[in-house]
Structure 1
Amino acid sequence: MDDDGMGPPRPEDDGSWAVTATAATALALYRPRTLKNGSSFLVLDHFGDAQALGATAEGLFHEDTRFLSRLSLRLAGLRPLLLSSAVSADNTVLSVNLTNPDIPLAPDRKLMRDTVHVERQMVLGSGIVRERVTVRNFGDSHLSSEMSLTFAADFADIFEVRGQTRARRGERRAAEARPDGSLVFSYLGLDGVERRTRLRFDPPPEGGPGRDNRWPLELAPGGQRVIEVSVLCETGPEPAEPTQPPGFDGLLAGIRAWSGERGAERAIVSSSNQAFNDWFARSESDLTMLTTQTASGPFPYAGIPWFSCPFGRDSLITALQCLWADPELARGVLRYHAKLQATELDPARDAEPGKILHESRNGEMASLREVPFGRYYGSVDSTPLFVLLAAEYADRTGDLALIREIWPNLVAALRWIERHGDIDGDLLLEYDRQSVNGLINQGWKDSWDSVFHDDGRLAEAPIALIEVQAYAEAAWRGAGRLARALGHENQAEVWTDRADSLRARVDEAFWMEDLSTYALALDGEKRPCRVRSSNAGHALLTGLPSPDRARRIAQTLMAPESFCGWGIRTIAEGESRYNPMSYHNGSVWPHDNGLIALGMKRYGLNAQLERLLTGIYDSALSVDMHRLPELFCGFARRPGEGPTAYPVACLPQAWAAATAYATLGAMLGVCFRPEDNVIRFHRPFLPSWLEELRIENLRLGTAAVDVRLRRHEADGGVSLNLLRRRGAVEIAVIT
């Protein structure tokens, strides 16, 4: 997972690094308003405030530090009434509409509610917030009042906000009004780095800037006043001339221009079902917002608020789910991870030559190694997923130039799988942490109690997870295809033979005939963890099991013990550690289901696939903004109720948003043959809730097509029409 082990209560030294679940960190129920840009993100309540009524996980964060912890607007000293609050469809602007409560003006007179309209608009750039507040008097008499904005900056590290306690902190200095009219909060960290929050006001507040800022409101009937505030995050020595941030309109135009460029690089999806369109558009916008432009290309950060930073498996799985529609994202992810690949042994970071990143952080606690995640490599699956994605990307695009560029990295990754990942030389890929405070469990389910035997005993390391073996088998096989394409025939044969050997080894060691699925894992004594889990479904994604075993795995996953109606649970009901409210032992994760859906399609299991996709789709319709969360509880579906929220789930989360692309890719069976300039739709189907689908700008190389698919009620078949073709590309439907 991307999560540093967020989960239930656990031993203090378990290497889980869980987010402490408190009222301050629980975000699921009130659905905060979020924006992200680059290494910055903003979490506010529906009023556009942060921590206005108490300590919560709200504020302006930049580079893993909270630069603004308090933001509170008051009208005549009172909190306004909320009219509406929404983030724009493209995730660029937060708009909040407020009005006044009944405000006493004199012993015998008051300002009636709903007289004054307050509109707050906020835009977030990288390290900068622009807010525009417009106050308008809709009354029939002159208004004399005031508006105030209160600010504070605690410079808390994101791990402090998550619940970690620090023995010492740096020096937090008093707010200082500068001669240029700005207000500066500053903090000198124990890492020797000064962090500053600089605020500018237009017009200046009455009496000069401070923590509490007031503007008089003298408004005739129909009159209005506009107040703009900029918040700038600064790190390091203070420059002689502070940066002049762009204005509200200029900042917004730049963000939207970049979003437009990203949108032009991927396929555009629309349908006859408006609810589906809303879900897909929200997922698309969330992915754009979570994507950061790096020197290597676009790269999706994991999720807000806990994981707004680069993660290995998250980014690789997100790119894999979106690959059919957005290969440029995969390109950026591959180049980024090639650049940060480990080159030396460093047990403190669980790093070994060739290993691919787990997580990278830039905050004070990471710099001081109070947490191990500055640049941390403690995941067993990122490395095979890196090779797997490279092979799938080449199959999708034919871009062998990129493969040649990262070829040394791919070879190093395979060498790591063989030499360091296979701890005991039995072909299986295992993990056992080296860092004393690293993650104990290093697969995507990295809670402290997520790998266990059927009697509830925790598995002892080194541990071999079933899904990791599937990724590794696909990595060896994919590397063989790449080697052959580059003319390395001998190497191709060696790697393909290793894939065959690994497949046979997995079938022998993991298959549970009586349970019709694979074991969750093998422990350090090679004893199988006889637990029904969603992990086995990932083997369908890579094509590891035989068709008969794939069918039986799918049936097990779709049985009532596993499929709750909204999706497939991480652990089946009835298993010893099953808990639908747990992080990994009974919850439902959208990305987990998206990968399983792609696997079902691979084996032509359309009946099970349609049930699964309908559950995912219904989940999206049942949550706020049609935004699938990181996870939700695995309680059985009940009529008239939506899925039960998990309290500290990230919203939005990249691989949850990417699930929309995975489900659609599974429906369509879309695949590519760049060597023949052909886009194929393999046994496409549309569920009963999707009558017509349109895809524009579906690209192969420099060519692109627009297509329309229609479902026929009579027999459930699907017809495909080519609407437009640009360049040399053909369309084929395989029935």
Structure 2
Amino acid sequence: MSRSQGSPERRQGRERRADETVVATTSAERYVMSAGRTSRLAVKEGDLFLYSDDLGQVPGAENSALGLYHRDTRYLSRLELFVAGRQPVLLSAGAEPGYAATVELTNLEARTADGHALPQASIHVRRTRLISDRLHETLRVCNYHRREVEVFIDLHFDADFADLFEVRGSRRRRRGSRMAPRVQGSTLTLSYFGLDEVMRQTVVRFHDPPESFKQGRARFRLRLSPRQRTVIRYEVQVTDLDTPGEAGGDLDERIGVLRREYERWESGATLIHTDNDHVNRALRRGQQDLRLLSAVVDGERIPLTGLPWFMAPFGREMAFVGLETLLLDLRWARAAVAFLAGRQGTVDNAFREEQPGKIMHELRRGELAATRAVPHTPYYGSVDATALWLLLVGELAVWTGDLESFEARGPAVDAALAWIDGPGDPDGDGFVEYERRSRVGLRNQGWRNSVDALVHADGARVEGLVALAETQGYVYYAKRRLAGVFGQLGDVERAERLTLEAERLKSAFNRRFWMEDEGYFAMALDGRKRQVRTVCSTVGHALWSRIVADEYVPAVVRRLMASDMCSGWGIRTLSREARAYNPVSFYNGSVWPFDTALIANGLKKHGYVQESNRLAWELVEAATAHRYARLPEMVCGFTRQGTDHPVSFPMACSPDANSAAALFLVLQSMLGIYAQAEENIVYVHNPVLPRWLGEVTLSNLHVGRTTMRLRFRRAGGQTSFAVLDKQGPGRIVVVE
């Protein structure tokens, strides 16, 4: 994109914004559901992705999310192929690599270009596409009719240049200027000059000239003898260059380049192999999806959140990915810590809900963000990202032993802790709370952030300052972890102070949130300090954080594993008995793999091995039931019947970074691996492989300055482990 002078100003924490350009706010539902949904194909690399139906088509339908996107802008809202004047018929489709897809198509009964009858299934089209720095597509057309045929192949292109907030349902009063399509030879240029004074362009370039190319419609007249093949190649570039690079390069060669780049990236991670092919496939899919969903921002490869709605940096989600993948790849944790520290709040800005020390929620780079119609530049409306970032900073120090980097983060850590103890606790009651400050901000600012996600048992909306149960757990966990690191640095006074603060919080939490009659903790405290007596999954995060008092753990475990919470595919976000329960909702009864993985980890920490491994198997089976063994963002919360497929949630992101990372945390739970790299120790605490997993081998496992290879085996109901190789000073300590 090119930007002219005169972009919106930012001064003293106040921002001039074009509020009149948008009607809907960011606190509205995050999608618009449309009828007639079919399976989707997604291909992505970096900030560029194409989201199409299984035929590879982007029909340009109203309320459709399909399209070619780059940095929160849709650069193609229509991309349609026609064979002999009609929509093709799908034979098969797949996009397992993530950056490439192949679609096999044939024709409906039609007429040839010279008017003769063309029987169905006479023409075969193999549609191969790749995303690199641009979209590449190759159409291999073959005639399987017994006679020579002359057939039209048409491709239609259009671009609405919609901001992703518009695609998700926001409405605008004013827009920038769309230019008329411009065709020069084999090249089509679609242009839009936005209210942010940015010229956005989509350039479509064919390798060979079409017979005609008008108003975004390219037509090829192909004369094919029986069994004759021909190829149509084109590419689509989103650009601000006056003279885009030349089209060219073999598609297979480009695919090979990307495949090798993925292999190089994966070689820096822990290599995990098991004796269960389903587990191996799901783990490999998760690792590939993490790389697929990433992008280089300011020179650092970071995980973006989910395709298509959330291809952006999110503070909470980046922290969770880092915490879930400590066993797999510490690069995700390092990237999240650095990226979020670089965007830590510095001023008090109600529009963006920014405060000094606070960690960002979401960063957007589209037109509406650039004109300040939405506050995502970045937006800070997350009550828990700060505590999760602090926890990740502590975990990274523990796993790497790099205390110098930890000390270098000292000012950011100090600022984040000051936010937790200050603005994060506006009424001074010792709990971290939130209340929306921006009229276009999120009403609910925990992970459960849809408009209807926080309700009392009678269905009434939760009002006022809200203290979420899980957030208190994150704060407790972060302070305890940081206390350990400060102790390693010799700052005993600070370590003791953080420990004392954490224990005071734990005591207050167990006193104020416990519901004796339910045998469970409240979802939250509302603005009047009343318990929100709704049974939900995020109390399971409190097990993970260890804020739950020992005396209450058995009751919490029983409730989580009861049939109203445990669906058979994981833990429901809301009890099936709750008045607000809806299995087809974001947070009121759906099942999220990462949520279940955190709970499984918490169960194992408290010695509930069978329950933890049961949830692990449910996640593995859910992955196996999905295309490419890919865990989506969520599934519907319907009770599992036999060995059926989990019911898909219609607007779930897939792939999704937190779901991609979930099984690595589950595996860490089984193996009981924890680190204290400064002391060169790897702890193995009560490893228990389930009956469906006989052997796990970890190679290239990095802890501090040590690289090791470990093998875990199950025999006779017992799990043993062996150190197959070790390079560096680390030692293994077994904890009973």
In 2, Cα distance between the equivalents of 1:85 and 1:282? 18
In 1, Cα distance between the equivalents of 2:412 and 2:671? 33
Change (3 A) 1:145 1:14: closer
The answer to whether the aligner puts 1:629 opposite 2:632 as a matched pair is yes
Task: Tell me which residue corresponds to 2:218.
Answer: 213
Task: Tell me which residue corresponds to 2:443.
Answer: 440
Q: Is the 8 A contact 2:211 2:221 kept in 1?
A: yes
97-106 or 397-406: bigger deviation: 97-106
Q: Is the 8 A contact 1:348 1:372 kept in 2?
A: yes
In 2, Cα distance between the equivalents of 1:485 and 1:348? 40
The answer to whether the aligner puts 1:143 opposite 2:144 as a matched pair is no
Normalised TM-score (structure 1): 0.92
**What percent of counterpart residues are identical?**
37
Report matched runs for 1:394-409 at 5 Å: 394-409=397-412
Task: Tell me which residue corresponds to 2:181.
Answer: 175
Change (3 A) 1:733 1:483: closer
Report matched runs for 1:324-363 at 5 Å: 324-363=327-366
What are the superposed Cα offsets for residues 204-244 of structure 1, whole Å, 9 maximum, x if unpaired? 21134651112222233443222211111124xx53x3344
What are the superposed Cα offsets for residues 447-471 of structure 1, whole Å, 9 maximum, x if unpaired? 2222222222222221100100001
Find 2:130's aligned residue among 113, 123, 132. 123
Task: Tell me which residue corresponds to 1:95.
Answer: 102
In 1, Cα distance between the equivalents of 2:524 and 2:569? 25
What are the superposed Cα offsets for residues 493-537 of structure 1, whole Å, 9 maximum, x if unpaired? 222221121111111111222222211111112111122211111
- For residue 173 of structure 1, what is the amino acid of its counterpart? M
In 1, Cα distance between the equivalents of 2:248 and 2:712? 44
Find 1:16's aligned residue among 13, 18, 27. 27
Task: Tell me which residue corresponds to 1:582.
Answer: 585
- For residue 146 of structure 1, what is the amino acid of its counterpart? F
Cα distance, 1:191 vs structure 2: 1.7
The answer to whether the aligner puts 1:48 opposite 2:56 as a matched pair is yes
Cα distance, 1:60 vs structure 2: 0.2
SS in 2 for 1:420: coil
Q: Is the 8 A contact 1:14 1:448 kept in 2?
A: no
Cα distance, 1:702 vs structure 2: 4.5
SS in 1 for 2:212: coil
Task: Tell me which residue corresponds to 1:563.
Answer: 566
- For residue 458 of structure 1, what is the amino acid of its counterpart? R
254-263 or 419-428: bigger deviation: 254-263
Task: Tell me which residue corresponds to 1:7.
Answer: none
SS in 2 for 1:23: coil
Q: Is the 8 A contact 1:31 1:624 kept in 2?
A: no
Task: Tell me which residue corresponds to 2:414.
Answer: 411
In 2, Cα distance between the equivalents of 1:546 and 1:654? 31
Q: Is the 8 A contact 1:598 1:663 kept in 2?
A: yes
Report matched runs for 1:588-627 at 5 Å: 588-627=591-630
The answer to whether the aligner puts 1:721 opposite 2:697 as a matched pair is no
SS in 2 for 1:437: coil
SS in 2 for 1:185: strand
70-79 or 693-702: bigger deviation: 693-702
SS in 2 for 1:325: coil
What are the superposed Cα offsets for residues 677-726 of structure 1, whole Å, 9 maximum, x if unpaired? 343332112222222223222222343223332222x3x21122334444
In 2, Cα distance between the equivalents of 1:717 and 1:186? 65
SS in 1 for 2:621: helix
Task: Tell me which residue corresponds to 2:12.
Answer: none
Q: Is the 8 A contact 1:366 1:374 kept in 2?
A: yes
Unaligned runs of 5+ in 2: 1-22
In 1, Cα distance between the equivalents of 2:653 and 2:28? 16
Task: Tell me which residue corresponds to 2:6.
Answer: none
In 2, Cα distance between the equivalents of 1:436 and 1:72? 40
In 2, Cα distance between the equivalents of 1:509 and 1:107? 80
Change (3 A) 1:487 1:178: farther
Q: Is the 8 A contact 2:212 2:220 kept in 1?
A: no
Q: Is the 8 A contact 1:349 1:435 kept in 2?
A: yes
Find 2:532's aligned residue among 529, 532, 548. 529
357-366 or 668-677: bigger deviation: 668-677
- For residue 242 of structure 1, what is the amino acid of its counterpart? P
- For residue 67 of structure 1, what is the amino acid of its counterpart? Y
What are the superposed Cα offsets for residues 66-120 of structure 1, whole Å, 9 maximum, x if unpaired? 00111111222122222211013x3221111122333444999644444433111
Report matched runs for 1:245-324 at 5 Å: 247=249, 248-249=251-252, 251-295=254-298, 297-324=300-327
The answer to whether the aligner puts 1:365 opposite 2:368 as a matched pair is yes
Cα distance, 1:579 vs structure 2: 2.0
Cα distance, 1:140 vs structure 2: 4.8
Cα distance, 1:139 vs structure 2: 4.6
In 2, Cα distance between the equivalents of 1:723 and 1:85? 42
The answer to whether the aligner puts 1:165 opposite 2:168 as a matched pair is no
Change (3 A) 1:53 1:539: closer
- For residue 32 of structure 1, what is the amino acid of its counterpart? R
Task: Tell me which residue corresponds to 1:8.
Answer: none
In 2, Cα distance between the equivalents of 1:733 and 1:297? 36
Task: Tell me which residue corresponds to 1:459.
Answer: 462
Aligned residues: 713
Unaligned runs of 5+ in 1: 1-11
- For residue 717 of structure 1, what is the amino acid of its counterpart? Q
Task: Tell me which residue corresponds to 1:427.
Answer: 430
- For residue 161 of structure 1, what is the amino acid of its counterpart? V
In 2, Cα distance between the equivalents of 1:184 and 1:452? 50
In 2, Cα distance between the equivalents of 1:395 and 1:108? 73
- For residue 658 of structure 2, what is the amino acid of its counterpart? W
- For residue 104 of structure 2, what is the amino acid of its counterpart? N
In 2, Cα distance between the equivalents of 1:680 and 1:593? 24
SS in 2 for 1:66: strand
In 2, Cα distance between the equivalents of 1:170 and 1:184? 17
- For residue 92 of structure 1, what is the amino acid of its counterpart? Y
271-280 or 185-194: bigger deviation: 271-280
Change (3 A) 1:485 1:707: closer
Find 1:382's aligned residue among 382, 385, 400. 385
In 1, Cα distance between the equivalents of 2:575 and 2:162? 39
Q: Is the 8 A contact 1:551 1:605 kept in 2?
A: no
Q: Is the 8 A contact 1:669 1:681 kept in 2?
A: yes
Task: Tell me which residue corresponds to 1:81.
Answer: 89
SS in 1 for 2:508: helix
In 2, Cα distance between the equivalents of 1:79 and 1:465? 51
| Aligned-residue CA RMSD (Å) | 2.2
Q: Is the 8 A contact 2:399 2:704 kept in 1?
A: no
- For residue 37 of structure 1, what is the amino acid of its counterpart? E
In 1, Cα distance between the equivalents of 2:541 and 2:125? 50
SS in 1 for 2:382: coil
Cα distance, 1:602 vs structure 2: 1.1
Task: Tell me which residue corresponds to 1:474.
Answer: 477
Cα distance, 1:567 vs structure 2: 1.2
In 2, Cα distance between the equivalents of 1:425 and 1:105? 77
Change (3 A) 1:311 1:106: closer
Q: Is the 8 A contact 1:350 1:376 kept in 2?
A: yes
Cα distance, 1:55 vs structure 2: 5.6
- For residue 172 of structure 1, what is the amino acid of its counterpart? R
In 2, Cα distance between the equivalents of 1:377 and 1:106? 58
Q: Is the 8 A contact 1:324 1:396 kept in 2?
A: no
Cα distance, 1:151 vs structure 2: 0.7
Q: Is the 8 A contact 1:567 1:615 kept in 2?
A: yes
Task: Tell me which residue corresponds to 2:244.
Answer: 242
Change (3 A) 1:44 1:490: same
Q: Is the 8 A contact 1:303 1:650 kept in 2?
A: yes
Cα distance, 1:246 vs structure 2: 6.6
Change (3 A) 1:114 1:728: farther
